[in-house]
Amino acid sequence: MNSRRDFLQKIGVSALGLSILPGYIQSNRAIYDPFEEGPLLRVAIMGLGGYGTRVAEAMQSCTKAKLVGVISGTPSKIKAWQARYNIPPKNCYNYGNFDEIKNNPDIDAVYVITPNGLHHDEVIRVAQAGKHVICEKPMALNAQQAQEMIDACKRANVRLLVGYRMHFEPHTLEIIRMRKAGEFGKIMFFQGLSGFIIGDPNQWRLNKELSGGGAMMDIGIYSVNGSRYMTGEEPIWVTAEETKTDPVKFKEGIDETIQFQFGFPSGAVASCLSTYSMNFLDRFFLNGLDGFAELDPATGYGPIRGRTNKGELNQPAVIHQTVQMDEMSDMILKGKQPIVPVDGEEALKDLKIIDAIYEAVKTGKRMEIKK
């Protein structure tokens, strides 16, 4: 395994040179000590598209994880990534031969960043190759697939983590801390607004087989997941209504806009909106008997902004994917427990809820959410 000393030598800094470290490290000096020695998680990225590229760039600032391999169906992309990230030929795979990664001792984990509909089979193949898996959200198309992925990883004795980057975001974690400390009093209400106007009508996000649905699978999931970590409760029922203004762009099975409501065991309720037809919608609002918290933007790439009844939050702005990968390294290699879970079971909970939302849309009835 490589050490963080190698990293520091690579970027050419000494203890005295801390002031020239990337912003991520400067802003996180209190949390992440770049001089602490420890193992590095060696990661191969599968799917070299938009988000894969963002993760790769963010990983250049990681001190506990390193991009060492790629899996792609496009030879020209592999070449470009090899040159940019110094990836040796022996760590390059395609979708036909990546099972051979089991014979590669220089890769610890594979980060699956392909279209949603491919996650199930790819995660199971990676697990069967004996490597830890990090999978993008939504982890699967439904709860049944999610359960099969969890089972496969358990059988193979590998970790399954999901790219819930907000679970490591400082403003989000501060609100969770305040809520747990009782600073907002009894939680009564959560509002989640998640949406953007989607462009190209021919992209995989609007193809049911590859996406599993529309805005709900892609962006609405942030309000589903957020309603859980903001309130600290699991919803027990859901009602939902779908509306469509463009049935040509948003075909059968591709939801454009869904409004959904949750009930929680404490009596708290949530009201959320998921849409592919409105911009400027990335807002969480939590209301308790003694206070409130607001995140706006709540889940974008940052900077995240937050305030509570006590005033503005002033947590550091971080590169989400850098922090996520360093934290996941500690989880996989050192057994660290995150404040908010990011494992397959966490994704299964979201997918059970999303299954129930779609069922509520279909039946027009209030649906109980299965445990």
Residues assigned a catalytic role: 137, 222
Q: Which is nearer to ligand NAD, 193 or 268 (CB)?
A: 193
Long-range contacts of 287-291 (CB under 8 A, 24+ apart): 287/184, 287/187, 287/188, 287/189, 287/190, 288/179, 288/184, 288/185, 288/186, 288/187, 288/188, 289/184, 289/185, 289/186, 289/188, 290/182, 290/183, 290/184, 290/185, 290/186, 291/183, 291/184, 291/185
Q: Tell me if 190 sits within 8 A of 285, measured CB to CB.
A: yes
Which listed range, 58-66, 109-117, 154-162, 235-243, lies at the site for ligand NAD (CB under 6 A)? Answer: 109-117
For residues 74 and 306, give the distance between their C-alpha atoms in angstroms, rounded to a whole number: 41
User: If binding is defined by CB under 6 A, does position 247 make contact with ligand NAD?
Assistant: no
Among 34, 52, 288, 344, binds ligand NAD (CB under 6 A): 52
User: If binding is defined by CB under 6 A, does position 152 make contact with ligand NAD?
Assistant: no
Backbone CA torsion sign across 333, 337, 343, 345: positive
Among 4, 165, 167, 228, binds ligand NAD (CB under 6 A): 165
What minimum distance in Å lies between the beta carbon of 119 and ligand NAD?
7
Q: Which is nearer to ligand NAD, 104 or 194 (CB)?
A: 194
Looking at residues 167 to 206 of the shown chain, list those that interact with ligand NAD (rule: CB under 6 A): 204
Which listed range, 50-58, 103-111, 223-231, 241-249, lies at the site for ligand NAD (CB under 6 A)? Answer: 50-58
312: enclosing H helix or E strand: strand 311-312
Which listed range, 48-56, 258-266, 275-283, 334-342, lies at the site for ligand NAD (CB under 6 A)? Answer: 48-56
Cis amide prior to 138 (ω within 30 degrees): yes
User: If binding is defined by CB under 6 A, does position 125 make contact with ligand NAD?
Assistant: no
Give the strand pairing for 65-71 and 92-93.
parallel
User: If binding is defined by CB under 6 A, does position 73 make contact with ligand NAD?
Assistant: yes
User: If binding is defined by CB under 6 A, does position 70 make contact with ligand NAD?
Assistant: no
User: If binding is defined by CB under 6 A, does position 137 make contact with ligand NAD?
Assistant: yes
Among 43, 48, 68, 70, binds ligand NAD (CB under 6 A): 48
- When computed from its CA atoms, the radius of gyration of the chain, rounded to whole angstroms, is 21
Q: Which is nearer to ligand NAD, 116 or 223 (CB)?
A: 116
User: If binding is defined by CB under 6 A, does position 51 make contact with ligand NAD?
Assistant: yes
Q: Which is nearer to ligand NAD, 196 or 292 (CB)?
A: 196
What are φ and ψ of residue 368, in 5° steps? Answer: -75, 145
Q: Which is nearer to ligand NAD, 50 or 96 (CB)?
A: 50
- Extract the tokens encoding 338: 């995150």
CB-closest chain residue to ligand NAD: 49
Three-class DSSP category at 142? coil
Under rule CB under 6 A, how many of the chain's residues touch ligand NAD? 19
Specify which residues 14 forms β-bridges with: none
Q: Tell me if 136 sits within 8 A of 119, measured CB to CB.
A: yes
User: If binding is defined by CB under 6 A, does position 49 make contact with ligand NAD?
Assistant: yes
Q: Tell me if 271 sits within 8 A of 261, measured CB to CB.
A: yes
What minimum distance in Å lies between the beta carbon of 76 and ligand NAD?
11
Three-class DSSP category at 209? helix
259: enclosing H helix or E strand: strand 257-263
Q: Tell me if 70 sits within 8 A of 87, measured CB to CB.
A: yes
- Write each residue from 211 to 240 as x if it is in contact with ligand NAD (CB under 6 A), else as -, in one continuous string: -------x----------------------
Question: Which amino acid is it at 164?
Answer: Y
What minimum distance in Å lies between the beta carbon of 87 and ligand NAD?
16
Q: How many C-beta atoms lie closer than 10 Å to residue 209's C-beta?
A: 12
Q: Which is nearer to ligand NAD, 136 or 326 (CB)?
A: 136
Which listed range, 8-16, 115-123, 241-249, 282-290, lies at the site for ligand NAD (CB under 6 A)? Answer: 115-123
User: If binding is defined by CB under 6 A, does position 50 make contact with ligand NAD?
Assistant: yes
The binding site for ligand NAD (CB under 6 A) comprises 47-52, 73, 113-116, 118, 136-137, 163, 165, 204, 210, 218
